[in-house]
Structure 1
């Protein structure tokens, strides 16, 4: 029998209360709204020749440029970004740093069961390498390894969390859960300390940019790549103000339409939305019992993620995942009042102790989704161009691993990374329009029904799973 879940699309909080909470929220990312935001580098003007060109100034591109320059200091490396470094998903995300390369162990078992042990080890090595790199390059990204709490809001989720408890994941219920966080909607929590961290997303991107510049990477912002083609043993990339000829290219544009036509059906641009509260007092944090420095996510298929900032604001995001017809990516989609109202409603129901809290920022942005919920990799143009894409909202750490994969692929190296089936095989493509939009809406409805039905997949999700498609909100 279906029961009404703790969270749903119907708003239950008084509308006047929601309006008050959102009244002062500015329509931009809290992370990017920072006085320490660096000035943009000049755009390309004229023709440029280089050994390695990196296209894209998010985490994936920045890690690629940095690691390539570290490996070969004499190599000329150029990075171009169509807007400013970190302006898109890398400066708008929740700042959860997870070691998983497979979007969690369950999804990893589904797609890479025979490789899961190797992928887990590589993910742990990559996570540790990221932490070391922040120290080596003096990057103050507000990096905190405080752990992660997965919380159940429905009875079936409690059973699922119990099944996952073990040596490195401790189940908390009753008073034990209340000692970590107090909410009338939370039934249980599974706490994991290892291989989870929080970071300031924009400061991470800006710190990587500064590290690249210090090592001699040439960075050009406001320089969009408008075309790419083979150019007789090199790759020619066209920009509005000139062309770049590179002996190799790393393509790290992720959710934006790929410069390689073959990859345009491999990702789906999905919009995710976030609220940020005003700073909370010590008394307010005590009221909700959340005094630790760990991140939280609830265990539903349509889930929320929440964490505290360095100044004790609460970031509250997720639940709605919105695909716009035709795969359009537009600035006006960064704001969605109906989603902000729903998020505020869910927040106030989760923490009724904070009924007078106001939100200072409300924003959204596009992330890239693949049908197996993790990144895919490959080469084109005779191995002179490598690409990685499809991180599906779990790319803060995984983009660093993808950078290492692209560097290996461009070198033609046989490594533990390039031998992975994750690297050698692609996810299933996403149907093109006009089929794509109704298919996405069908799946979204099926996910919501599964949450209402004790987590049990209906016919639509069972059929999708049988074909090898993975889905999440």
Structure 2
């Protein structure tokens, strides 16, 4: 009897990484595409590093000045900061914050209904808005994102390790990998691939002991043009900075729906989040 060849799938968009970024991106992509498939090397819907975090969230509230927050981040990154990109993330962060609240996520408020927050040391404006019970927000965010993915019909698979994006010239045709438990090969035909395998905090620091960010080497091997490469493994801390805990969340995924709509306008459709 012949051994089965392996697992084979076909999709419009393959999202590698079922963390917060991957699930956000998949949900937004579903607004434009018939079929979106998310795969993750861990258990399905575990939420990636975000699911293991405290789930606190840094948000530009409507009454906050964007330049004040960017000044904090330029200091925090000791000058190595893509201000345009960070500005886009912060500007859209309030909408994502309200999405979570509308879905039932419980950010802590005082008796007056005002949001409670933890100031970040040595930064004048950065604040963590936190969840009740404290430390459990990451689990709840993962649960809510999973529920919203299901509502939109996003397909999700766990235990799938992607090793390479497959290209035909400059055109992406899919990806290959293997099942983490059986070891059987996995073949995925896709019109576009989005790599959402970044670490779950502002900087790598505590996440150096995890196998996150492999999307960088996958994209590099596929011949993608790279930018902001200095941010992947740089740990540059300003003199007066002390860290409260690596439980922050930035809504990195789906920064701009138009980016996803443009997937098929490009010759090489591999995106990094």
On whether the aligned pair clears a TM of 0.5, the verdict is yes
The one of 46, 50, 55 equivalent to 1:86 is 46
For residue 97 of structure 2, the aligned residue among 96, 118, 131 is: 131
Aligned residue in 1 for 2:207:
none
Q: Which residue is equivalent to 1:399?
A: 252
Alignment of 1:60-459 (within 5 A): 60-69=21-30, 71-72=31-32, 75-84=34-43, 85-86=45-46, 88-99=48-59, 105-108=71-74, 110=79, 120=87, 122-123=88-89, 125-134=91-100, 138=103, 140-144=104-108, 146-150=115-119, 164=124, 197-199=129-131, 200-231=137-168, 233-240=171-178, 241-255=185-199, 256=212, 257-258=214-215, 259-261=218-220, 267-268=232-233, 300-303=240-243, 305=244, 317=245, 394=248, 396-402=249-255, 404=257, 406-407=259-260, 410=263, 412=265
Q: TM-score scaled by structure 2?
A: 0.62
Give the corresponding residue for 1:29.
Answer: none
Q: 1:83 Cα shift?
A: 0.5
Q: CA deviation at 1:107?
A: 2.7
Count of residues in correspondence between the two structures? 211
CA distance in 2, matches of 1:252, 1:223: 14
Report the alpha carbon displacement of residue 150 of structure 1 after superposing the two structures with TM.
Answer: 2.7
Q: Secondary structure at the match of 1:268?
A: coil
Q: Distance in 2 between matches of 1:405 and 1:99?
A: 22
Contact 1:141 1:201 in 2 (8 A): no
SS of the aligned residue for 1:82 comes to coil
Cα deviation, residue 90, structure 1? 0.9
In 2, Cα distance between the equivalents of 1:398 and 1:123?
7
Q: Alignment partner of 1:227: what SS?
A: strand
**CA gap 1:269/1:83 in 2 versus in 1, 3 angstroms:** farther
TM-score of the aligned structures, taking structure 1 as reference length: 0.38
Q: Summarize the Cα distance change of 1:64–1:151 in structure 2 as closer, same or farther, 3 Å threshold.
A: closer
Secondary structure of 2:42's counterpart equals: coil
How much has 1:206 moved relative to structure 2? 2.1
- For residues 1-42 of structure 1, the C-alpha deviation after alignment (integer angstroms, 9 at most, x for no partner) is xxxxxxxxxxxxxxxxxxxxxxxxxxxxxxxxxxxxxxxxxx
Q: In structure 2, how many angstroms separate the alpha carbons of the residues matched to 1:93 and 1:209?
A: 16
Distance 1:128 1:243, change over 3 A: same
Which position in structure 2 is the counterpart of 1:51? Answer: 12
For 1:408 and 1:96, locate their aligned partners in 2 and report how far apart those are by CA, in whole Å.
30
Is the 1:56–1:82 Cα contact (8 Å) retained in structure 2?
Answer: yes
Quick check: 1:96–1:198 contact (8 Å CA) kept in 2?
Answer: yes
Distance 1:260 1:64 in 2: 17
The question of whether the paired residues in 2 share the 8 Å contact of 1:94 and 1:201 is answered with yes
CA spacing shift, 1:251–1:216, aligned 2, 3 Å: same
**3-state SS of the aligned residue for 1:219?**
strand
Q: Which runs of 5+ in 2 are unaligned?
A: 1-5, 61-65, 110-114, 132-136, 179-184, 200-211
The structure with more radius of gyration: 1
Question: What is the CA–CA distance in structure 2 between the aligned matches of 1:409 and 1:111, rounded to whole Å?
Answer: 28
Structure 2: distance between partners of 1:112 and 1:412: 28
Residue 403 of structure 1: how far off its partner (Å): 6.3
The CA RMSD over aligned residues, in Å, is 3.8
Call closer, same or farther: CA 1:208–1:269 in 2, change over 3 Å. farther
**2:197 alignment partner, SS class:** coil
